[in-house]
Structure 1
Amino acid sequence: MEYDVVLIGSGFGSLSAAALLARQGLRVCVLEQAKYPGGCASSYKRKGYWFETGATTLVGLDQNMPLRYLLDKTGIQIKAQKLELPMQVHLPSGQMLTRYRNLEAWLAEAERVFGKYNQRPFWQHCFKVSQQVWQASLQQRSFPISNTKDLILSVCRARPGQLALLPAAFRTMEDVLRKYDLLQNKPFLDFVNEQLLITAQNHIHEVNELFGATALCYTLYSNYYVPGGLINLVKPVEAYITENNGEIKYGQQVESVKKTGRMYWIKTNNQTFQSKYVISGIPLNNTLQLFKNERLKSKLGKYILPSEKLNGAFTMGLVLKLKQPPAVLHHQVHVPEGLPLIGSKSFFISFSDPNDTLRAPAGQMVASISTHVPDPENLRIEQKYILEDAILTALCKAGLIDLKSILVKHSATPGAWNFWTHRAYGAVGGYPQYKQIKPWQMKDARLDHDGAYICGDSTYPGQGIPGVCLSGIIAVEKLLQDHF
């Protein structure tokens, strides 16, 4: 079977790239080992209920953001409900903090909880940086630079505001907090660290200002809920691809990729596909195992992060009898003493909309819970009931659930993630931010500089639906730039 482009994996980066390539009239084929599309930005059905696979929040639909770009270019339409209140945070003090979308409302809330000293200038600065980052990210679709044409295009697309962002790549969020004299405010410091962990996968001393300010401000942009789960974000993209002469084939676990002459040969567990070009949408760690090319592995090895620098996830799914619907669907719960077995100091819980009968029958709702597991290859969770009990106890203490309301409960460790998704070590959330890795040092979309490309959460710009969507946009930009 011969195609113009074969894409490995149906994560949202791959699907974004496939849709944009299909729009160009290229014949694309997406190979997915599972039975549902979307990777970590999707949903799965269990015991008649729809649970979120990984991501539970949707942003990126505002102007100058990647998902808006994708939908505008293709005409794809999705059904999504804007959330008035994006998230609430349950702090160690017992206080509940509401992450308002409106900047002034959020500033008042931050000052109420953490004190007025320098909260306003800190958040105004972060929001301004985040706006500049999003605008620059779509203007600079040849970034990171990896050949002369990238450089020429980047210079042509450069704007004065983009150059002003450059120093922020060399500053950490710790530096920014020091500038505003906020390092002494321990409750605020703990809050920022746990917020960064769910958005940038690391803490203030490692996350640079560009990514950190943008990560902290995601609740200041439009946040959405997708009825039926994020599978219904993915399905319209899947439909667009197939309606435009593309194919998505499930149950196809890619085992090797080899180039012979001008064609790539992609071998799966039961078929072999040919294509002029290939885009991998799976993590770098997995991608390099597919290419039987020692020179490529040697060249790209510097980009690979080992398990001790990655995070896995412990996840839980609950079905609850609906008593009093939560006013806010997304919550972060701080656990200052750390969760047993893994030491994580917070976890995230997302409830389904009480009126969403696509995910659970009337009178019931679904909850998806996740928390970080460091070094997932080596941190084994043998007695996961201990972790389950600690999370449920914290949820009850926060007033978010009643144990008597639980109808269904299940959980998964990084080992289960590895088994079901085949992601190396069961690592999720992409590569964490590290201060020694500047944005231009992240892996760009060109894999072998010969026709193979890569997108997804382990390449620039990183995790989250907007991030992986942007990585797919950039992969398409560079493929077309190189060969058409």
Structure 2
Amino acid sequence: MNDYVVIGSGIGGSTSALFLNKKYKTTLFEKEPYLGGCSSTFKRGKFFYNTGATTFAGYEEGKFMYDFLSEHKVDFKKKLLDSSLTVLYNDKKIKRLRDFSAFIEEINSAFYHPKNIEFYTLIMKINKRFFEINDYYYSNKNIFAKLKSLYSFKTLLGSFYPFIFEKADKFLKNYFGNISDEYLNYIDNQVLIVAQAKTPEVNFLTCALALGYQFVDNYYIYNGMGSIFESIEEKLDDVRKSEFIEKIERKQNDFIIHSNKSTLQTKNLVLNSSLFESASLFDDKEILDYINSYKKLDLGISAFMVYMKIDTKQKLDHHYQIILDKKLKNTISNSLFVSIGASDDEKMAGSITISTHTLNQYWYENKKEKKQELMDIIKNIVCLYLNIKEEEILKCFAATPFTFKRFINRTSLGGIAVKYNNYVFKIPSNDTVIKGLYNVGDTTFAAQGWPGVMMGVRNLQRLICDI
């Protein structure tokens, strides 16, 4: 019998298996032939592409993600970036630079305001303080554990009290006084990348953390994001790839995992699949009631992806955001996030991953026609803004939410939107009211992306290992 089974090898699943494997008999299941989930690297034809998440931010000594990966000797080739993102907005080009003075020049040239220096100094201070605080955890196994863990947030609450309870759009208008709609739209789209929502829907603390990620270390990862997971896999004792979980039975204090290839009994279970879509694995009423109690948080937000392979001699940045005047058809966003493989990266050179926000409901009907239409629109926009010629495109294809369902078994992508009314005590913890059942990933505490999911891993580590 296993001590732990981890289902799903995304950021949260792979790193949870890593720390559990040091102390417990642990098995990691993954449906695909490679690890990584939304953060994986896959091959189609002759070329490799990053599936989704291509931002690797917050990898700094003294921060949990750096310390965790270093402790477990996860090694991968990387390059520190001076700019986390180049924003293209009408005739403006804004590099979100790590160097504060250089960025102030950038933002003032695009959206001059006498309070810009003061505002982004505040953003830096909030981010620095936020990542210094390390004394909280979040448990949901019973009401007493929940109340006790919420008390642990007292330092965080005391440090950011004014910002937690004020909506970001209201704060910005009060702070800047006169701020242009164009500048607000720029800020909105930076927040959307991190929070899956815009300033009218989030508190100012969330807004500040989203605007501040450029001031932490951002890296380009060579050989695709999947190279991180390849390093993790080498350190695990039992990884079962290409195994799809068909059913999970709860037997008294244990769980029986049925895959398409094997059956395994375990004392504890960590789900790295989307919480909302995990319900299909269970018949147990108590587990289903628990999962369904959070169903209202599933807004059906997902991503539409376009993948390209180009052969060009022009020098391109690694990350772009293209902000448009209006939302694209069958999306909920007026921006595109574009990631490009480095020219000196033999495996990923010329590989492009493009994403925009959409809703699952847009893709229930006429998927093929809608997919082709939106792919062509996005391809043309990216080629126009980045000056890519048609003859330089070697390959172009797209993915809808239901493409992701087929490959990584989830349609909702990007996690729970970090909205103003989604206070910590309303979102799922990494433990549950079910003994031995745990969750990790972007649909549980704390958030999406590498920094957000790794905060959840740290929380899970504290809950399981009491550290």
Q: TM-score, normalised by structure 1?
A: 0.90
Distance of aligned partners of 1:160 and 1:141 in 2 relative to their CA distance in 1, 3 Å threshold: closer
Q: Which one of the candidate residues 174, 180, 192 is aligned to 2:175?
A: 180
Aligned-pair CA distance for 1:280: 0.5
Rounded to whole Å, the distance in 2 between the matches of 1:46 and 1:58 is 23
1:240 aligned counterpart, secondary structure: coil
Runs of at least 5 residues in structure 2 that lack an aligned partner in the other structure: none
Mean alpha-carbon deviation: is it higher for 310-319 or for 273-282? 310-319
User: In the alignment, residue 119 of structure 2 is paired with which amino acid?
Assistant: F
Mean alpha-carbon deviation: is it higher for 73-82 or for 316-325? 73-82
Mean alpha-carbon deviation: is it higher for 328-337 or for 433-442? 433-442
Q: Which one of the candidate residues 303, 328, 345 is aligned to 1:313?
A: 303
| Aligned pairs for 1:72-471 within 5 A | 72-92=70-90, 94-136=91-133, 138-142=134-138, 148=144, 160=155, 163-181=158-176, 184-241=179-236, 246-305=237-296, 309-326=299-316, 328-342=317-331, 344-360=333-349, 365-376=350-361, 380=365, 381=367, 382-423=369-410, 426-471=411-456
Mean alpha-carbon deviation: is it higher for 37-46 or for 336-345? 336-345
Does 2:17 match 1:18?
Answer: yes
Distance of aligned partners of 1:276 and 1:123 in 2 relative to their CA distance in 1, 3 Å threshold: same
2:302 aligned counterpart, secondary structure: strand
Aligned-pair CA distance for 1:143: 6.0
CA contact (8 A) 2:375 2:397 kept: no
CA contact (8 A) 1:34 1:251 kept: yes
Rounded to whole Å, the distance in 2 between the matches of 1:383 and 1:259 is 41
**Identity of aligned pairs, percent?**
24
Aligned-pair CA distance for 1:89: 0.4
Distance of aligned partners of 1:348 and 1:182 in 2 relative to their CA distance in 1, 3 Å threshold: farther
Aligned-pair CA distance for 1:376: 4.1
Distance of aligned partners of 1:66 and 1:290 in 2 relative to their CA distance in 1, 3 Å threshold: farther
Aligned-pair CA distance for 1:391: 1.7
Deviations 1:32-80 (Å, cap 9, x if unpaired)? 1111101111100111211001111111311443321312332332221
Aligned-pair CA distance for 1:149: 5.3
For 2:33, the equivalent position in structure 1 comes to 35
Distance of aligned partners of 1:265 and 1:276 in 2 relative to their CA distance in 1, 3 Å threshold: same
Rounded to whole Å, the distance in 1 between the matches of 2:235 and 2:385 is 42
Rounded to whole Å, the distance in 2 between the matches of 1:82 and 1:218 is 14
2:83 aligned counterpart, secondary structure: coil
Rounded to whole Å, the distance in 2 between the matches of 1:343 and 1:289 is 27
Rounded to whole Å, the distance in 1 between the matches of 2:362 and 2:270 is 27
For 1:7, the equivalent position in structure 2 comes to 6
CA contact (8 A) 1:263 1:274 kept: yes
Aligned-pair CA distance for 1:197: 1.4
Q: Which one of the candidate residues 38, 42, 45 is aligned to 2:43?
A: 45
CA contact (8 A) 1:169 1:208 kept: yes
Q: How many residues are paired up?
A: 465
Rounded to whole Å, the distance in 2 between the matches of 1:139 and 1:400 is 48
User: In the alignment, residue 17 of structure 2 is paired with which amino acid?
Assistant: A
Rounded to whole Å, the distance in 1 between the matches of 2:261 and 2:283 is 18
Rounded to whole Å, the distance in 1 between the matches of 2:250 and 2:149 is 29
Runs of at least 5 residues in structure 1 that lack an aligned partner in the other structure: none
Rounded to whole Å, the distance in 2 between the matches of 1:335 and 1:118 is 26
User: In the alignment, residue 50 of structure 2 is paired with which amino acid?
Assistant: E
Aligned-pair CA distance for 1:150: 6.5
Distance of aligned partners of 1:261 and 1:251 in 2 relative to their CA distance in 1, 3 Å threshold: same
2:14 aligned counterpart, secondary structure: helix
Q: TM-score, normalised by structure 2?
A: 0.93
Aligned-pair CA distance for 1:400: 4.0
Rounded to whole Å, the distance in 2 between the matches of 1:378 and 1:209 is 33
Aligned-pair CA distance for 1:8: 0.8
Mean alpha-carbon deviation: is it higher for 365-374 or for 296-305? 296-305
User: In the alignment, residue 341 of structure 1 is paired with which amino acid?
Assistant: N
User: In the alignment, residue 392 of structure 2 is paired with which amino acid?
Assistant: S
